[in-house]
Amino acid sequence: MGNRKIALVGNPNSGKTTLFNVLTGANQHVGNWPGVTVEKKEGKLRYQKNEYDVIDLPGIYSLGAFSEDEIVAMDYVLSDDADVIINVIDSSNIERNLYLTSQLLEMGKNLVIVLNMTDEAEKRNIKIDVFGLSKILGVPVISAVAHKGEGKNEIIKEVVNAILKKKTYDNPIKYNKNVLHHIEHIEEILKGKKIPYPIKWTSIKVVEGDSHVLKRLEESKIGKEAVEAIKDFHRFHSKDSFELEVVDSRYSFANSIAEATVSRPAKEVETITDKIDRIFINKYLGIPIFAIIMLVVFQVTFVIGEEILGGIAAFLIEGLGGLIEKLLMSVNSPEWLISFSINGIINGVGAVIEFVPLITVLYLMLGFLEDSGYMARAAFVWDNLMRKFGLQGRAFISMIIGFGCNVPGIMSARTMDNKKDRMITMFINPFMSCGAKIPIYTVFIAAFFPNHGALVLFSLYALGVIVALIMAKIFNNTLFKGESSYFIMELPPYRLPTIKNVLRNMWTNVSGFIVRAGTVIFAVVTVMWVLAVVPASAEPYSQDSLLGAIGSFLMPLFKPAGFGTWQESVALFAGIPAKEAVVGTLGMLYAGEYMEEGKALVDAIRENFTQLTSLSYMVMVLLYTPCAAVLGTIGKETKSIRWTVFIALYTFALGWAAAVTIYQVGSLLGFG
C-alpha cells in the first residue's frame, strides 16, 4: 500500500505553504496539476517510521467552478485521494475563512482544522474559542503559528489520528425547505447511477447549478434520461435562483459559527468619519455640501493662485517681454518681428500662460478631493439628482472629467453601454466649463468683480451644470427616449490622499494647459496676428485690417448681447479653434491698440466692457460652440456629421440667447 496522503486546503495567504514546509522540510518537489497551469507541490512527512505524502493545494476562497484553482482543489478533495484534509485558516480573518470550511464540511471529508496565524489574531485582540469551535463542528481544531513551527507536533498527532479513525461528517448546513426538496428530487434522479462524486453532495451542486459538476455529470455515464431530467429541472427553475439560496445557506452556517466562537474588540461604535459620511451623502444635504466645498475650492484658488502667485507670473512675463523687446531692438530686428513677439507672443500667448499658477492650485485641490474618496460620494449624490433628469450616474464622471477638458469627458462616455445614456452624456459635456475657459473668466473677474471672484466663477460653473441638466431632460423627452441603466456605486473608504496621486492629477491638467498654450494657442494667436496686420495698407490692429473686417462683419450678430466692438466679436470667433485664444486674441489686439499707453489687458477690458456686458460675455463663453477638438471628438464618437453640426449650432444658439437675455434684462433693470 502506498503512503497515506494529507492535503492542505485554505484561503490564499493563510499559511498553507509555510505549514507545508514545516511538515515536509526539504523533502518536496514542484510540478503541475494535469492539464492545467496550476502549480502542484508535493512533499513527504516522516513520523514514527511512517511516511506520508503531503499535497499543497492552490489557495482558494471557495470550491466551485469559477477559476482553475477552484476546480483543481475541488476535484482533488472530491477524488478521495487524500486520507485527510488540513483546512488551514488565517485566524485573524477567520470569519471569511469559514465559508470554505463550510464547503469542506458539506463534502463530509475527513478534516483537521489548523487555526494558523494565531499570533496575528492575538495582536489584534481577536479571541477564538478553539474548544467551542471544535465542539460545534465535531472536527479537531489546533492553533498554530506556522512560520515559527508552533503547533507542528500537535497537528501531526491529530492528522495521524484522523487518518486512523477515517472519520467522515454529516453535512451540517441547513438549506431551506424548498431547496431541500429539490435536492432530494435530484438525488432520486441520480440514485443507482455511476457518478464521479458522492451522491448527496452532487445533488446539492446540481441544484446550485455548478457548471463544472454539471459538465462532469454529462461526461459520465448516467444515461440520456438523467441528463435530460437535470436539464429540465434547470430549465423549469431558471428563475428560482437556487444557487443563491444554497450559497446563502453556507454563509448562514459560517456566520453563525463565527458569531458563536469569535469575538473581536468592539469597534469604535461609530467613527467620526461614518457620521460625516452620512451627512455627505444625505439626500438633501449632499448637493449643498458639494456646492460649499466647491466654493471653498474656488476661493482658495483665487487667493493663492491668482492674488498671490498670479501676480508673480504676470510680473515675470512682463519682465520677460521687456527683455525680449530690448534684445530685439539691440540687434535691429525688423518692426514686424518686435510687434509679433510683444503683441502676439507676450501679450497673446503670455496672457494665457499667466494662468498656470491658478490652474495648478485648482487642480491640486480637485485632485485632493478625488483621491480622498470624496468625489465618489459627490458622484453618488449627483446620481440621485441626475436620474431625475434622465441621466445616469456615470454621466457625473464624464462631467467631472469635462471640468478638466471636454475631450476626455466625451470620450469617457464610451464606458456606457446604453446608447441613449451615451449620447446625452456627450451632448451636455460641453457645458462643463473646461480649464481652457478659466483664463477668460479670470480676466473679466479681475476687471469687474475682483472681490467676488470665487462666487462668480462658482456661479458660472453652476450655470453650466444647470443648463446641462435641463438640456439632458429635454433630450431625454425628445431625441433620445428610453430607459436609463440603473447603477450602483461603490463608495470606497476615505483615505488620506497620497502626494503622488494628487501631483499626478494636477500635472495631467497643468501640462495639458501648457502644451496647448505652446501649440494650439500659439498657432491660433499667430494666425490672428497675421490677420490683424494685413493688408499692409491698413493700420495694424485696426478695424481696417482683415481681422477687423471679420470682426465688423460679426459685430451685428453680437450687438444684442452688448458686445460693441469688433475685437470682442472676433475674439469669440478665435475661441472656436481653442477657447484660451479668446484671451490670447483680446490680449494681442488690445496691446496693439493701446501700444503707446502700455495698458494692461485688464484695464483695456475695463474700458471696453461694463459689468453687465462682462457677465453676458462670460456666459456666452461658457455656453457657446465648443472648441474644434471637442467637435472633432463628437464627430468621431457619434460617427455623424449631422450630430456634430447640430451640437455646434445648438450650443451657439443657447449661448447667444443666454447672453442676449442677460444683457437685455440687465439693461431694462438699469444695470447697463
Check: CB of residue 201 under 8 Å from CB of residue 107: yes
Binding of residue 401 to other proteins (CB under 8 A): yes
- Find which of ligand GDP, Mg ion, other proteins, none residue 18 binds, CB within 5 to 8 Å per kind: ligand GDP
Rg of the chain (C-alpha set): 36
Binding of residue 252 to Mg ion (CB under 5 A): no
Contact stretch for other proteins (CB under 8 A) within 256-264, 314-322, 440-448, 607-615: 256-264
Site string for ligand GDP, 77-116 (x = CB under 6 A): ---------------------------------------x
Binding of residue 43 to ligand GDP (CB under 6 A): no
User: Considering beta carbons, is residue 122 or 243 the nearer one to other proteins?
Assistant: 243
User: Considering beta carbons, is residue 18 or 608 the nearer one to ligand GDP?
Assistant: 18
* 560 DSSP 8-state letter: G
What lies within 8 Å, CB to CB, of 345 at 6+ separation is 522, 525
| 3-class secondary-structure state, position 584 | helix
Check: CB of residue 534 under 8 Å from CB of residue 528: no
Dist. CA 280–CA 54, nearest whole Å: 54
- Find which of ligand GDP, Mg ion, other proteins, none residue 119 binds, CB within 5 to 8 Å per kind: ligand GDP
Dist. CA 569–CA 604, nearest whole Å: 15
Amino acid at 593: E
Cell of 37: 497551469
- Find which of ligand GDP, Mg ion, other proteins, none residue 509 binds, CB within 5 to 8 Å per kind: other proteins
Closest CA to 392 of 357, 425, 370: 425
Residue ranges in 209-308 assigned as alpha helix (H): 211-219, 224-236, 242-261, 272-280, 286-300
**Do β-strands 84-90 and 4-10 pair in parallel, antiparallel, or remain unpaired?**
parallel
Dist. CA 15–CA 197, nearest whole Å: 29
User: Considering beta carbons, is residue 20 or 573 the nearer one to Mg ion?
Assistant: 20
- Quick one: which of 10, 140, 404, 551 contacts ligand GDP (CB under 6 A)? 10
Binding of residue 58 to other proteins (CB under 8 A): no
Binding of residue 12 to ligand GDP (CB under 6 A): yes
Dist. CA 356–CA 167, nearest whole Å: 74
Binding of residue 370 to other proteins (CB under 8 A): yes
- Find which of Mg ion, ligand GDP, other proteins, none residue 79 binds, CB within 5 to 8 Å per kind: none
Which strand ranges, in their side-by-side order, compose the sheet holding 4-10? 28-32, 39-47, 50-56, 4-10, 84-90, 111-116, 141-143
164, burial (CB in 10 Å: exposed 0-12, middle 13-18, buried 19+): exposed
User: Considering beta carbons, is residue 17 or 542 the nearer one to Mg ion?
Assistant: 17
User: Considering beta carbons, is residue 17 or 418 the nearer one to Mg ion?
Assistant: 17
- Quick one: which of 266, 272, 488, 641 contacts other proteins (CB under 8 A)? 488
Binding of residue 493 to other proteins (CB under 8 A): yes
Binding of residue 485 to other proteins (CB under 8 A): yes
Tell me how many residues contact other proteins (CB under 8 A): 60
- Find which of ligand GDP, Mg ion, other proteins, none residue 491 binds, CB within 5 to 8 Å per kind: other proteins
- Find which of Mg ion, other proteins, ligand GDP, none residue 508 binds, CB within 5 to 8 Å per kind: other proteins
Check: CB of residue 186 under 8 Å from CB of residue 203: yes
Dist. CA 666–CA 467, nearest whole Å: 20
User: Considering beta carbons, is residue 39 or 248 the nearer one to ligand GDP?
Assistant: 39
- Quick one: which of 17, 61, 338, 564 contacts other proteins (CB under 8 A)? 61
Q: Which of residues 259-298 bind other proteins (CB under 8 A)?
A: 259, 264, 274, 281
Contact stretch for ligand GDP (CB under 6 A) within 145-153, 215-223, 377-385, 499-507: 145-153
- Quick one: which of 9, 146, 582, 631 contacts ligand GDP (CB under 6 A)? 146
Q: From residue 75, how far is each of 63, 79, 88, 619 by CA, in Å?
A: 9, 6, 18, 67
Binding of residue 239 to other proteins (CB under 8 A): yes
We find the least distance from the C-beta atom of residue 20 to Mg ion, in angstroms, to be 8
Q: Which residue is nearest to Mg ion (CB)?
A: 17
We find the least distance from the C-beta atom of residue 242 to other proteins, in angstroms, to be 11
User: Considering beta carbons, is residue 147 or 234 the nearer one to ligand GDP?
Assistant: 147
Q: Which of residues 332-371 bind ligand GDP (CB under 6 A)?
A: none
**What per-residue string of b and e applies to 248-276 under the rule 16 or more CB within 10 Å gives b?**
ebbeebbeebbeebbeeeeeeeeeeeeee
Element (H, E) at 432: none
Amino acid at 323: L
What is the 3-state secondary structure of 308-358?
HHHHHHHHHHHHHHHHHHHHHHHCCCCHHHHHHHHHHHHHHHHHHHCCHHH
Torsion of CA 468, 472, 478, 482, to 10 degrees: 170
Dist. CA 302–CA 306, nearest whole Å: 5
Site string for Mg ion, 9-28 (x = CB under 5 A): --------x-----------
User: Considering beta carbons, is residue 60 or 204 the nearer one to ligand GDP?
Assistant: 60
Can the peptide bond before residue 535 be classed as cis, meaning omega within 30 degrees of 0?
A: yes
Contact stretch for ligand GDP (CB under 6 A) within 142-150, 190-198, 276-284, 598-606: 142-150
What is the binding site for ligand GDP (CB under 6 A)?
10, 12-18, 59, 116-117, 119-120, 145-147
What is the binding site for other proteins (CB under 8 A)?
61-62, 64, 66, 93, 95-96, 99, 239, 241, 243-244, 247-248, 251-252, 255, 258-259, 264, 274, 281, 370, 375-376, 379-380, 383-384, 393-394, 397, 400-401, 404-405, 407-408, 411-412, 414-415, 485-493, 504-505, 508-509, 511-513, 515-516
